[in-house]
Amino acid sequence: MILHIGFDDTDSRVGGCTTYIAALLVEKLLSVGVEFSEYPNLIRLNPNVPWKTRGNGALCLRIKCDQNLQESVFDKVRNTIRENMNLEHEGTDPGIVFFEGAKIPREIQFFSNKTIQTMVNLSEARGLLRKHNASAIEYGSGLGIIGALAAIGETLDGDHTYELLTYRKARNRGTKRMLNPESVKQMNKETTPQTFGNIDPETGRVLITPRGGDPVLYGIRGETAEAVAKAHHMIETSEEIERWVIFRTNQGTDAHLSRLVPIADAEPYDAVVIQGTISSPPRLVPKRHRFFSISDGTGEIDCAAYEPTGVLRKVARDLKIGDAVKAYGGVRPQSDLHPLTVNLEKLEIITLTSKFTEQNPECPICKRKRMKSRGSGQGFKCVKCGFQSPKARKRLVEEKRSLVEGLYITSTRSRRHLTKPLSRYGREKTKRPSKMISCWHNP
Ligand SMILES: [Zn+2]
């Protein structure tokens, strides 16, 4: 039988990590004799939902096993999750979903797509579970089954990437991570663009390590399983690695930003792409964040380039009314202080408006020096050499723009897990890998 095991929201804002439970389960399930038909899938969901934990990532394990193993698989999953989840922290509502079958129903795939881009509700998830005979275990409010089902439904048949995650020994968690930054720089140099997101090019900061009490030592993202495995072996650390696993994931694919939405239909917390023209000039709010508005014929909406977006904030400064753009980001709900706002992740400048200004003509004798008007209909005169021209006319000159058309992406350090980096454009995959590499986990 083929079994899909989805789970979500086992971690809280203060530590614990759903991917770590997946890594534990890889070892435990292999030990009872199941076969993994696929790398564990790490599915990032809509990063704008208000109840998310840090990364809003859900997991799916897809395995083959004999019917008689089913009970022990269920037990292992239930027990491992129960032992490792952080239920004592408010806002942690784990969910587990089991689905049996070789094919994932289209409806569940569609639900998954929705969960990556918008807000979905619990009753929709529960309805699908009933209809398709999936079994679920809910804790707390039960919200975790939304992500658990969504992880099952995202089969990553199109574009995808990989992440190799290493985990720390329990005794080291919460202490400083012992990693040689020079080895990260060397790895980055040798494996880019087959890996990405290793180092912030603006600050030189190492980005593969999370902060705080997270069990992850480091994670390396890349285009293939081979690439992340190779990069992993280049990292020098004096810390013992408890285990590591390669995940196949929708990270770095813009899976959340694939819907072009009319402004009138933009809903709070959705991830959207809006195409329109600049309708109000950029302004600083209050002193560090830059806002402007765009309209598309169905309405007008604010866009925000916050200070950490780096390049986006700089680009926003030079926008002018009439510029045609595509704005990519999450919709922040309206409040007393501000209207509905797109928090920008990307901005594509499609066309810059041309602005023409009138200028006095150049003096044909002195060159470069502009002549002075002698009054309406009286022509022009050069104040330097005295040349006069009764027939000279003002000329229209196109204003120079400091911007160039193209795609701009928020700075590396402020990217979402899902944000596709520039280095991935043109590398999008259209099918799943035909086989797994032999060494994709340890132990
Ligand atoms: Zn002159």
Which residue would you say has higher pLDDT here, 361 or 62?
62
Statement: 263-351 belongs to CATH 2.40.50.1010: yes
Per-residue pLDDT for 154 more than 80?
Answer: yes
| 97 contact partners, CB below 8 Å, separation of at least 6 | 5, 6, 7, 129, 134, 135, 136, 145, 148, 149, 152
* 232-253 residue pLDDT tens: 999 999 999 999 999 999 999 9
Mean of the pLDDT values across residues 379-390?
90
Mean pLDDT of 199-210: 90
Average of per-residue pLDDT across 291-305: 96
**d(CA 370, ligand 1 centre) in Å:** 8
Question: How far does the centroid of ligand 1 lie from the alpha carbon of residue 373, in Å?
Answer: 13
More confident residue, 393 or 117: 117
* 3-state percent breakdown (helix, strand, coil) of the chain, nearest 5: 25, 30, 45
- Please answer whether residues 254 and 421 qualify as being in contact, where contact means their C-beta atoms are separated by less than 8 angstroms: no
Cα of 374 from ligand 1 centre, angstroms: 14
Q: Higher-confidence residue: 16 or 275?
A: 275
Alpha carbons 240 and 244: distance in angstroms, whole number: 11
Higher pLDDT, 377 or 32: 32
**Predicted local confidence at residue 54, as pLDDT:** 52
Question: What digits encode the pLDDT tens for the residues 23-46?
Answer: 999 999 999 999 999 999 999 999
Does 91 have pLDDT greater than 80? Answer: no
pLDDT given at position 297: 95
Distance 379 CA to ligand 1 centre (A): 14
The whole-number pLDDT of residue 165 equals 96
Question: Poorest-confidence range of 7-11, 130-134, 316-320?
Answer: 7-11
Contacts of 426 (CB under 8 A, 6+ apart): none
Alpha-carbon dihedral sign for residues 308, 309, 310, 312: negative
What integer pLDDT is reported at residue 53 of this predicted model? 52
Centre of ligand 1 from the C-alpha of residue 364, in Å: 7
Query: Does the structure show a pLDDT above 90 at 156?
Result: yes
Asked whether the predicted pLDDT for residue 14 surpasses 50, the reply is no
CA 399 – ligand 1 centroid, Å: 24
> For the chain, what percent of residues have pLDDT higher than 90?
72
Measured in Å, residue 15 CA sits from the centre of ligand 1 at 74
Give pTM, 2 decimals: 0.90
Q: Distance from the CA of 369 to the center of ligand 1, in angstroms?
A: 7
Q: Is the pLDDT of residue 11 over 80?
A: no
Banded pLDDT at 13 (limits 50, 70, 90): very low
Q: What is the pLDDT of residues 42-62, one digit of tens each?
A: 999 999 988 765 567 899 999
Domains of the chain by residue range: 2-155, 263-351
Q: What is the distance in A from the centroid of ligand 1 to the CA of 358?
A: 19
Cβ(77)–Cβ(6) below 8 Å? no
Domain at 2-155, CATH class: alpha beta
Mean pLDDT to the nearest integer, 214-229: 96
pLDDT tens column, 318-358: 999 999 999 999 999 999 888 999 999 999 999 999 888 88
Distance from the alpha carbon of residue 395 to the mean position of ligand 1, in angstroms? 17
